[in-house]
Structure 1
Amino acid sequence: MAKSRNNLLGVGGQRKKLSRAEQQGAGSARGADRKVAEGKKQELVRKMRERAEAQAATTAAGPGEQDAQPAQS
Protein backbone atom coordinates (compact mmCIF):
# COMPACT_ATOMS: atom_id res chain seq x y z
CA MET A 1 0.00 0.00 0.00
CA ALA A 2 1.31 3.45 -0.91
CA LYS A 3 2.43 5.65 1.94
CA SER A 4 1.14 8.84 0.33
CA ARG A 5 -2.38 7.58 -0.28
CA ASN A 6 -4.01 10.74 1.08
CA ASN A 7 -1.73 13.06 -0.87
CA LEU A 8 -3.64 13.48 -4.15
CA LEU A 9 -2.07 16.74 -5.21
CA GLY A 10 -1.79 16.87 -9.00
CA VAL A 11 -4.04 13.87 -9.58
CA GLY A 12 -6.72 14.55 -12.17
CA GLY A 13 -5.45 17.93 -13.29
CA GLN A 14 -5.91 21.40 -11.91
CA ARG A 15 -8.33 24.09 -13.03
CA LYS A 16 -6.91 27.44 -13.85
CA LYS A 17 -8.15 30.34 -11.79
CA LEU A 18 -10.37 32.72 -13.72
CA SER A 19 -9.93 36.44 -13.51
CA ARG A 20 -12.93 38.64 -12.74
CA ALA A 21 -13.24 39.62 -16.38
CA GLU A 22 -13.26 35.98 -17.47
CA GLN A 23 -15.86 35.13 -14.84
CA GLN A 24 -18.11 37.89 -16.19
CA GLY A 25 -17.88 36.56 -19.72
CA ALA A 26 -15.20 38.77 -21.19
CA GLY A 27 -12.68 36.93 -23.32
CA SER A 28 -9.27 36.29 -21.91
CA ALA A 29 -6.23 38.18 -23.07
CA ARG A 30 -4.54 34.81 -23.46
CA GLY A 31 -6.64 34.01 -26.53
CA ALA A 32 -5.69 37.30 -28.15
CA ASP A 33 -2.04 36.69 -27.36
CA ARG A 34 -2.22 33.29 -29.01
CA LYS A 35 -3.66 34.82 -32.18
CA VAL A 36 -0.89 37.42 -32.28
CA ALA A 37 1.75 34.74 -31.75
CA GLU A 38 0.22 32.59 -34.50
CA GLY A 39 0.28 35.58 -36.87
CA LYS A 40 3.94 36.24 -36.12
CA LYS A 41 4.76 32.59 -36.70
CA GLN A 42 2.97 32.55 -40.05
CA GLU A 43 4.81 35.70 -41.12
CA LEU A 44 8.16 34.19 -40.13
CA VAL A 45 7.41 30.98 -42.05
CA ARG A 46 6.41 33.01 -45.11
CA LYS A 47 9.67 35.01 -45.00
CA MET A 48 11.75 31.86 -44.58
CA ARG A 49 10.05 30.24 -47.57
CA GLU A 50 10.63 33.33 -49.71
CA ARG A 51 14.32 33.37 -48.78
CA ALA A 52 14.67 29.65 -49.52
CA GLU A 53 12.96 30.05 -52.89
CA ALA A 54 15.14 33.05 -53.77
CA GLN A 55 18.28 31.16 -52.79
CA ALA A 56 17.21 28.11 -54.81
CA ALA A 57 16.48 30.32 -57.81
CA THR A 58 19.91 31.99 -57.68
CA THR A 59 21.76 28.69 -57.37
CA ALA A 60 19.72 27.11 -60.17
CA ALA A 61 20.06 30.17 -62.43
CA GLY A 62 23.81 30.33 -62.64
CA PRO A 63 25.98 27.35 -61.80
CA GLY A 64 28.67 28.83 -64.08
CA GLU A 65 28.78 32.00 -62.02
CA GLN A 66 30.13 30.09 -59.05
CA ASP A 67 33.18 29.00 -61.07
CA ALA A 68 34.06 32.64 -61.81
CA GLN A 69 34.63 33.39 -58.11
CA PRO A 70 38.21 32.94 -56.87
CA ALA A 71 38.78 29.97 -54.61
CA GLN A 72 39.63 30.80 -51.01
CA SER A 73 42.05 28.66 -49.10
Structure 2
Amino acid sequence: MPLTELAPLLKKLSYSDKLLLLHFLIADLLKESGLTPLDVQDRDKVTSQGLHDSFEAAAVLAKALTEEKVATHGR
Protein backbone atom coordinates (compact mmCIF):
# COMPACT_ATOMS: atom_id res chain seq x y z
CA MET A 1 0.00 0.00 0.00
CA PRO A 2 1.53 3.36 -0.98
CA LEU A 3 2.11 6.05 1.63
CA THR A 4 -0.44 8.31 -0.07
CA GLU A 5 -3.12 5.74 0.83
CA LEU A 6 -1.77 5.23 4.35
CA ALA A 7 -1.52 8.89 5.34
CA PRO A 8 -5.27 9.51 5.74
CA LEU A 9 -5.61 6.30 7.77
CA LEU A 10 -2.70 7.23 10.00
CA LYS A 11 -4.22 10.62 10.76
CA LYS A 12 -7.30 8.87 12.14
CA LEU A 13 -5.28 6.91 14.70
CA SER A 14 -5.48 7.84 18.36
CA TYR A 15 -2.51 9.48 20.04
CA SER A 16 -1.50 6.27 21.80
CA ASP A 17 -1.81 4.24 18.60
CA LYS A 18 0.40 6.75 16.80
CA LEU A 19 3.02 6.35 19.53
CA LEU A 20 2.83 2.57 19.26
CA LEU A 21 3.18 2.81 15.48
CA LEU A 22 6.18 5.09 15.87
CA HIS A 23 7.77 2.65 18.31
CA PHE A 24 7.13 -0.22 15.89
CA LEU A 25 8.62 1.67 12.94
CA ILE A 26 11.73 2.70 14.86
CA ALA A 27 12.29 -0.85 16.12
CA ASP A 28 11.83 -2.18 12.59
CA LEU A 29 14.28 0.36 11.14
CA LEU A 30 16.85 -0.45 13.81
CA LYS A 31 16.44 -4.17 13.12
CA GLU A 32 16.88 -3.65 9.36
CA SER A 33 20.00 -1.57 9.91
CA GLY A 34 21.50 -4.16 12.24
CA LEU A 35 21.35 -1.90 15.29
CA THR A 36 19.89 -2.97 18.59
CA PRO A 37 18.02 -0.51 20.80
CA LEU A 38 18.99 -0.34 24.45
CA ASP A 39 16.58 -2.26 26.58
CA VAL A 40 16.14 -1.68 30.29
CA GLN A 41 18.93 -4.12 31.22
CA ASP A 42 21.37 -2.50 28.80
CA ARG A 43 20.58 0.96 30.17
CA ASP A 44 21.30 -0.32 33.66
CA LYS A 45 24.67 -1.68 32.47
CA VAL A 46 25.58 1.67 30.88
CA THR A 47 24.75 3.67 33.99
CA SER A 48 26.51 1.18 36.24
CA GLN A 49 29.72 1.71 34.25
CA GLY A 50 30.08 5.12 35.85
CA LEU A 51 29.43 7.24 32.79
CA HIS A 52 27.36 9.59 34.93
CA ASP A 53 30.30 9.93 37.34
CA SER A 54 32.84 11.09 34.78
CA PHE A 55 34.86 13.83 36.43
CA GLU A 56 36.68 14.49 33.17
CA ALA A 57 33.39 15.09 31.37
CA ALA A 58 32.25 17.35 34.21
CA ALA A 59 35.46 19.39 33.92
CA VAL A 60 35.02 19.78 30.16
CA LEU A 61 31.40 20.86 30.64
CA ALA A 62 32.34 23.33 33.40
CA LYS A 63 35.04 24.85 31.18
CA ALA A 64 32.61 25.18 28.25
CA LEU A 65 30.00 26.81 30.49
CA THR A 66 32.59 29.25 31.86
CA GLU A 67 33.73 30.16 28.35
CA GLU A 68 30.13 30.66 27.27
CA LYS A 69 29.45 32.86 30.29
CA VAL A 70 32.50 35.00 29.49
CA ALA A 71 31.49 35.28 25.84
CA THR A 72 27.92 36.18 26.77
CA HIS A 73 28.43 38.41 29.79
CA GLY A 74 32.01 39.56 29.42
CA ARG A 75 33.23 38.16 32.74
TM-score, normalised with respect to structure 2: 0.33
Structure whose residues are more often helix by fraction:
2
Q: Which has the higher contact order (CA 8 A, sep 6+)?
A: 2
